[in-house]
Structure 1
Amino acid sequence: MRTLRGGDHAKYRTPIVDLDTPAAIVFTSGTTGKPRGVIFTHATIAGEMHEWLLMEPIQQNGLRPVLVLLLFTTAGIIWGISRVVLHGGTLFLQPKFEPSEALRILSEEKANTLTGPPILFEQIAKAPGFVDADLSHMVTAHVGGARVPVGLLHKWQARGVALRQIYGQTEIGGSATAMPRDEASEHPDKCGWGGIFTKIRVVDAEGNDLPPHETGQILLRGPGMMPGYWCNEEATRATLVDGWIQTGDLGTLDENGYLTFVDRLEDMIISGGLNISPAEIEAVINQIPGVEEVAVISVGDAKFGETPAALVRISSEMKESEVVGYCNERLADYKVPRYVVFMDEPLPRMPSGKIAKRQLRDTFADVPADYDKVR
C-alpha cells in the first residue's frame, strides 16, 4: 500500500462518457408478466437525482437512507447506491428486512430516509420500542405501491414523521411524484404532483386528456424516463408512445394537478358492466381491526361475469360475515366481496414489496368452486 501511495504513476484520466450510454439495467416487478429490463443512462440517472434535489434539498453528505428492499430494484440501484454516491452520505444496507433492526438503525444511527410499501412501515410500527422512539430527525418517509392507511399515518405522526405517498414506475426512474410534507396528513389518498420537469397526464382510451376527477390511464414523462427496454423493441414501442410512458395504471388529477392512484388497469374488476377497483375495497378492509394484509382479486361469476374475492390474513379470530358487514357500511353493494378467504401465510410479494396479484389470481382461480359465497 505504501508503495502504491508513494510511487510514481500516470495521472488517472476521468473517462469522457456519452450521457446517453446505458449505465444500468433495472428489471421491473413483473406486474404485467415477465419482468422487463429498463435501461438507465448516465443522463436519466443524473436528471432524476437533479430534479429531486431541487424539490427536496439535502445537505451535502447528509443522506442516511435505510435500504430494506432488494438491491436490484430501483430502490436499491438508483435511490440507494446512485443517490448516495452522487450526493454523499451513508447507506444502511439490511441483508433482509427485520423490523426491530430497521427501527434501531432509524433511531440509534439517526438514519433519516426510508422508502417502501406500507407493510414496511406497519411492521416497524409494531416493533418493540416504537411508541417511545424519537424519529423526528427523519427527513424523508415515502410510501409507495399501495395507499397509506390513515391509522398508520397517525402512528408515525406521533413519532414526528410525516408519511408521504409517492407514485412512480421503474420506467420513469422509480418515483415521479410525492405529496408535500404539509399536505400529506390532510390528503393521504393523493400522491402529489409531478416534479419540476416531470409531467403527468390522465387520458381516456383514445388518448384524450380528461377533466379533473375523471379516471383514466396515467401518462408520464420526465428526466428519469427510460429510452427503452433492453432487447425488447416491441414492448418499448407499446410503452413509449408520442414521447409519453403508457403506465397501465388508472388515476385522476384534481384542479391543482395532484394525482390520485386508482388501480392497475389489468386489476380492475368488471362486474355486470360496472368497474370495481380492488384498491378501494382493500383500503376499506385494511381498516378492520385484526386485519394484517388483504388482496382483492377478480374471480369468475355466472351472473356478473366477474366478482370480487377478498384474500385476508388476520391476527385474531374473525368471521367472513364481519368483513362483509364492515364493507356493507362503507361500499356500494356491487363492490362488496362475494368471497372472503382467510389466509394462514403472508401474502406473496414481488421484489418491490408489492403484493403479487398475478400469482394470487392464478393460485385462487378456482375460488368459486372451492369456497361458498358469503353474500
Structure 2
Amino acid sequence: MKDWLSKRAHISPDKTAVIVGDKHWSFSELNNQAIELARQLAACGINSKDRVAVLMYNSLDFVRVIYALNKLGAILVPLNTRLITSELNFQLQDVEASLLIYDQQTEELGTKLNLEEKVKITELPDSKAKISLQQQHQKSDIHSIIYTSGTTGNPKGALLTYGNYWSSAMGSLLNLGLYDDDCWLACLPLFHVGGLSILIRSVIYGIPMMLHSSFEPEIINQAIDAGKVSHISLVSNMLLRMLNQRNDRPYPETLRCLLVGGGPVPEDLLRRCAQIKAPVVQTYGLTETTSQVATLAPEEALDKLGSAGKPLFPTELYIADQKGQQVASGTVGEIIVRGPTITQGYFNKPEATATAIQDGWLHTGDLGYLDDEGYLYVVDRLHDLIISGGENIYPAEVEDVLTNHPAVEAAGVVGEADEQWGHVPVAYVKAEAEVEQEELISFCREHLAGYKVPKSIYFVPQLPRNATGKLMRRKLADMTITNN
C-alpha cells in the first residue's frame, strides 16, 4: 500500500489534517513537515527497520515524528510518559532502540535514560540532503511496537503492522460511518493505541484530528460545545468527569459519538448519558488488537446498555471456558479473538507469543459473554477475577454498585487473602462526601450476594490510574489509606 500521508496529501492537499489550539495544518503541510523531519532523522543515522523510541506528550511535533518514521520505514516505539526511569530503561533495552526522541516536557526524564543515542526534538540536526523515502508499505511491515500495560510481569512489546492499522480503520469505518464534517477529538495520549489509531484513521479517512495535549474536562467540553467535534474516544472515568463538569447538560447534536472503552462502563453512568441523550457508544479493544474488537452501533446504544456490541466486520470472536472450549450464550468465559487486526506477536518473546496466539486466535485474558443475539458484554480481566470459597467475583460488578452510592466518587475492588475462603473482596473508595464503612457495606448487601460484599472498605484520596484514566487494580494495595 502507498504511504498513507503521501496519498492523502495528493488526494486532498488543502483539507485540514490536524488542529492543535489555534494551529491548523493541511495534509499537504503535514506531509511536507514529515519529509523535512525525515531528513533530520536520516542525518542521525536512522534507517528502515530501525526502532525509534519516542517519549513525548501530544503535540504537532509528535505527529510529525510518527509520519517521518513512516517515510523512513523505521519503527515507532511510543513510550508512556508516566513511567519511571527503571520502567522506561527496561523497554528501551528490551526493544533494542536505535534512538530516543524526547521533548521539552520530558527532557529531565529523557536525559536520564540509559540509551547513548538520544536527542531532543528541537535539537535535531538540519539537513537538506536528498533521502530515499519509503513510497510503499507491505501489510506485514511493522509500523509500531507498543508496550502492554503489564498487568502481570514485565510489559511486552506488541508488534502492530500497517495491515493491522488499515484493517482497524476499515472495521471502524464500516461500523460508525464517515461524513464530510467528521472531526475526531484526540485527548488519549498518542503513545496509547487508542490515541495513535485516531491519528492514523484521520489520514486514511481524510478528516481532521483535533489534538489535545492532555485531558481537561472543561476544555474538552468547550471544544465539543463549539460544534466542530463529531467523535471523541474516552474511558469511563473521563466521561464521568466530563458529565460532572457540565452538570449533565446535554451535548450539541454535532457530537455524534462518544466512544467509550478501557473496560466495562458502569451502568449508572450509561443511564446518565441516556437521560441527556449523550451518544455513548461502548467499545472493547486492546493493544494486541490495534484498538477496537467490538463496538456497539450508534443506533443500538440505548437498546443494549452495557454491551460492547458485535465484532467489527473483519473480526471474529468466541467465549471459551478454562479448557478452551466454546461456551453457550450467557456463560462467562475468556474472550478469544481472530482477524486482520491481531498483532503478529510480541517483540523477541516467542514463548509469550505462542501462549497468547494459538492457531491465529488471540487469548485476550478478558472475561465476557455473548447474549443470544451475539452482542458482547465485557465482565472483567481474567487476572482480576476473585475466587472466594469456589465462587467467582467480578470486581467491576462490585465497583459498579459502590459508585451508585451518592457519597462515592470512585471505587476499586481486589481480592485479599483469607484463611477460610481463599480470597475475599476488599474495596478502595474515593468518597466525595462523608460516609462510614458500615453504611457502604450495608448498601452493598442490598444489591449484591453476600459473598460479593466487600469485607473491608479502605478510603483513599485517589485511585491509581494509567495515562488513559483506566483503573490499575494491581496498585490499589499500595495506596495511602485515609480515615472516614
Q: Please, what TM-score do these two structures have when normalized by structure 2?
A: 0.69
2:103 corresponds to 1:103: no
Structure 2 CA distance for partners of 1:271 and 1:160, relative to 1, 3 Å: closer
- Distance in 2 (alpha carbons) for counterparts of 1:156 and 1:132: 10
2:195 corresponds to 1:76: yes
2:140 corresponds to 1:20: yes
In the alignment, structure 1 segments of 5+ residues that lack a partner are 5-9
Corresponding residue number in structure 2 for 1:354: 470
Q: Secondary structure at the match of 1:353?
A: coil
2:118 corresponds to 1:118: no
Q: How does 1:1-375 map to 2 (within 5 A)?
A: 15-60=135-180, 62-78=181-197, 80-128=198-246, 131-132=248-249, 134-344=251-461, 346-361=462-477, 363=478
Q: Aligned-pair distance for 1:349?
A: 0.8
Contact preservation (8 Å) 1:65, 1:111: yes
1:159-194 alpha-carbon deviations (Å, 9 max, x no partner): 442212111111111111111223322332211111
- Distance in 1 (alpha carbons) for counterparts of 2:303 and 2:138: 44
Greater helix share, structure number: 2
Q: Aligned-pair distance for 1:16?
A: 2.9
Q: Secondary structure at the match of 1:249?
A: strand
Please provide the CA RMSD for this pair. 2.3
Structure 2 CA distance for partners of 1:286 and 1:131, relative to 1, 3 Å: closer
Q: Aligned-pair distance for 1:274?
A: 1.4
Task: Give the aligned residue type for 1:99.
Answer: P
In the alignment, structure 2 segments of 5+ residues that lack a partner are 1-31, 33-129
Task: Give the aligned residue type for 1:213.
Answer: G
Percent identical: 31
More relative contact order in 1 or in 2 (CA 8 Å, sep 6+)? 1
- Distance in 2 (alpha carbons) for counterparts of 1:14 and 1:232: 28
Q: Report which stretch shifted further, 22-31 or 197-206.
A: 22-31
Q: Secondary structure at the match of 1:324?
A: helix
Q: Aligned-pair distance for 1:105?
A: 0.7
- Distance in 2 (alpha carbons) for counterparts of 1:141 and 1:149: 15
Contact preservation (8 Å) 1:29, 1:351: no
1:220-264 alpha-carbon deviations (Å, 9 max, x no partner): 012211111122222111110111000011111111111111111
Corresponding residue number in structure 2 for 1:7: none
1:331-374 alpha-carbon deviations (Å, 9 max, x no partner): 11111000001112x2111123211111224x26x99xx99xxx
Q: Aligned-pair distance for 1:37?
A: 1.4
Contact preservation (8 Å) 2:176, 2:298: no
Corresponding residue number in structure 1 for 2:50: none
Task: Give the aligned residue type for 1:48.
Answer: S
1:195-237 alpha-carbon deviations (Å, 9 max, x no partner): 1221111011121110111111110012211111122222111
Q: Secondary structure at the match of 1:337?
A: coil
Corresponding residue number in structure 1 for 2:21: none
